[in-house]
Structures are given as C-alpha cells and as structure tokens.
C-alpha cells in the first residue's frame, strides 16, 4: 500500500486552498431519501462536502463516525454495514482508538478497509495511551502502540494520531519527540490531542515552535448539554492556536437523539447508565427545544444536536457513533442543515 506524501508538521499540499476549519468544499448537495421515521421524503445530503483540518491536507466529511461501539453493541457484521452506509452517504472520516473493545474496533475497521478497498479514500484517526499493552505516553509505549494499531488497522500509516489523554508522568517533549520519529518515517501523518487541558496545549505549542510536532486538532467533550469546560478556557486556546475541534459525546450518550425520555427508558446498559444523568427537568427542557426545531426542519433530533455543533466556531467534525445502519443518516445529514438565527438563539439560551 503506497504511503501518501508527507508534508512535515503543518505545511499545506500545493493546490490545497488555505481554507479554515469551517469551510465547506465540493459540489452542491444532492437529495437522498431519509430513513428516519417521521421525516420528510428527502433532505439535502452533502455527500461531497468536506472541511479541512487546520494546517493539514486532510479534507474530511463534517461528521466523524465514531467506532467505539464496534465489537461492543455492534458485532462485526453490523459494524461493516454501518461503515458501508456511512461511506454510501459520503462519509470518509473514521474515529477509533487502540483501547476501544481492547483493540477490536481497530480490527473491525481494518477488515472493512481491506475488504472494500477503501483505505485511500478514508481518513483514519486513532488514539493511543489507554491500551494496557502500551499504556501511557512514554516513547516506548507510543512506538509500540502505533505499531500495534497499524497491524490491527491493516495499514502502514495513520492519518491523524491522537494522544488519548495527557500523561503527566512523561515530559511532553519526550512524547512529541517520539511522534516526530513516526512522522518522519511516514507511519503517522499528523498529531492531535484528546482530553488535554488548556495549559498543556499551550505548553505543547511552545515545544512545537522549537521544531517538535504540533497538535493540529483537539478532541474534547462538547455538546448542547456539556458546554462550560470547553467554552470557559479551551475555546480561547484552540482559537489562538488555530486548532480544529472534534467534539465527542456529541449526542450525550444518545440522550440528544431522543432515546431516553423517562426513567423507564433507561435500560440496564452502560450507555443508558451514562445518559441517566441527563433525564432531569433541565435535560428534558433541552430535549424539548431540540425536538421542536427538529420537527420544523423535518429531521431527527440527533441531526439538530450535531448541526448546532457544526455551527460553532472551530468545530470541523463532531464524532458520533451508530450501532445500526439505519442510525447513520440522521448523523451525516446534519452537515446539510442550516439552522436559523432564531434556532441558534433558542438552543444557546436553553443550553446555557
């Protein structure tokens, strides 16, 4: 499998316009039938729209398909059908991690890439640092984790490597130095951070100014029901550094998709237990506003929750997962929704 051309730590490819993270690219949207119950017959589906992750040549669909459920609530066959549906609707950005189902998620993604011949058209982001075989962010763990991920994914390069968390036991300079070796060897193309504090992002930027790889993106929890941690400090730092933002838990464990509307809906599952904290008067008021706007746009509530994120500064592609193929379209079509000023005011007010 040929490796893509390398571009150092942030140099744009010739011919790639210097677009910001919010820039949409591609031909006009087309219409596809909607599979969400209760929706209208068709909705503009941006199959070819792309956003550019800052300071890279990675152009991605504005919805990153999360694969944490692969090998957990979705078996291998179902996961492949989810991936097929995502690709058929124009998706090209997959988010996984070496710790998801102990690496099973990466194996499922790798099998799908190989069986569909889809590697060249897919942007793969994976995270390292939490797998028990290569824990933490020491140079040895980083090298070992990347090699193991490459094997599971069945590829010889990772497009976007995330540090899954900040490891205070290892000097950040050492961790970045290990990634520098991987970038120069062509095994990693770009580096991103996940769950890093504003202070550590600033430290990393100083080190990058001295020649080490820079974080081009931040993956962080951010949604209508979880705003303050990002907006209080991380937003300022990521904006100042020009970093792209990739929010996870975009649907608040399924609550913003309307799956849990009462205590009776909370089945004895891990996901339901995580969503339980939102089944409150405040959470249900938030969901009611999402329901109303979703009805006005004739889409599913999940679509509106993701569309709100896509309208925020710096957000390139929220991460959301699907356990079944028929859940995928409600996620992908969010990139084609244009919320009105009134919609944004209402959602901002009720989620403040």
Cβ atoms 265, 259 nearer than 8 A: yes
E-strand ranges in the chain read: 30-33, 42-45, 51-52, 59-60, 64-66, 93-95, 123-128, 158-163, 188-194, 215-221, 244-248, 319-321
Tens of pLDDT along the chain (352 residues)? 445 544 433 333 333 333 334 444 433 332 333 333 333 334 445 567 899 999 999 999 999 999 999 999 999 999 999 999 999 999 999 999 999 999 999 999 999 999 999 999 999 999 999 999 999 999 999 999 999 999 999 999 999 999 999 999 999 999 999 999 999 999 999 999 999 999 999 999 999 999 999 999 999 999 999 999 999 999 999 999 999 999 999 999 999 998 878 777 777 666 677 778 888 999 999 999 999 999 999 999 999 999 999 999 999 999 999 999 999 999 999 999 999 999 999 999 999 8
Q: What's the pLDDT score for residue 261?
A: 80
Count CB atoms within 10 A of the CB of residue 116. 14
Residue 241 tokens, joined: 């550094």
**β-pair partners for 219:** 194, 246
pLDDT at 25: 41
Domains contained in the chain, CATH given: 49-257+302-339 (3.20.20.100)
Q: Do 205 and 214 form a contact (C-beta atoms < 8 A)? A: yes
Q: Given the DSSP bridges, would you call strands 59-60 and 51-52 parallel, antiparallel or unpaired?
A: antiparallel
């Amino acid at each position: 499998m040929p490796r893509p051309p390398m571009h150092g730590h942030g140099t744009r490819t010739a011919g790639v316009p210097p677009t910001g993270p919010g820039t949409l690219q591609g031909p006009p949207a087309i219409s596809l039938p909607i599979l969400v119950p209760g929706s209208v017959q068709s909705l503009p589906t941006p199959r070819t729209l792309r956003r550019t992750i800052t300071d890279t040549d990675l152009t991605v669909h504005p919805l990153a398909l999360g694969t944490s459920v692969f090998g957990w609530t979705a078996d291998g066959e179902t996961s492949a059908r989810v991936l097929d549906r995502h690709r058929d609707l124009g998706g090209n950005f997959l988010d996984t991690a070496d710790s998801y189902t102990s690496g099973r998620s990466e194996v499922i993604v790798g099998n799908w890439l190989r069986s569909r011949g889809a590697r060249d058209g897919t942007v793969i982001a994976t995270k390292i640092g939490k797998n028990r075989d290569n824990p933490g962010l020491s140079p040895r763990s980083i090298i070992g984790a990347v090699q193991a991920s490459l094997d599971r994914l069945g590829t010889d390069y990772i497009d976007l490597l995330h540090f899954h968390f900040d490891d205070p036991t290892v000097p950040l300079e050492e961790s970045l130095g290990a990634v520098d070796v991987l970038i120069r060897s062509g095994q990693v193309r770009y580096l991103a951070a996940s769950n890093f504090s504003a202070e550590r992002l600033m430290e990393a930027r100083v080190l990058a100014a001295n020649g080490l790889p820079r974080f081009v993106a931040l993956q962080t929890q951010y949604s209508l029901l979880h705003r303050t941690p990002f907006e209080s400090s991380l937003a300022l730092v990521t904006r100042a550094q020009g970093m792209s933002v990739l929010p996870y838990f975009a649907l608040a464990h399924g609550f913003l998709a309307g799956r849990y509307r009462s205590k009776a809906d909370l089945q004895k599952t891990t996901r339901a237990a995580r969503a339980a904290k939102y089944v409150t008067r405040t959470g249900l008021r938030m969901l009611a506003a999402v329901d109303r706007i979703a009805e006005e746009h004739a889409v599913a509530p999940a679509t509106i929750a993701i569309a709100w994120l896509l309208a925020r500064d710096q957000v390139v592609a929220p991460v959301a997962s699907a356990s079944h193929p028929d859940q995928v379209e409600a996620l992908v079509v969010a990139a084609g929704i244009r919320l009105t000023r009134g919609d944004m005011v209402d959602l901002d007010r009720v989620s403040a």
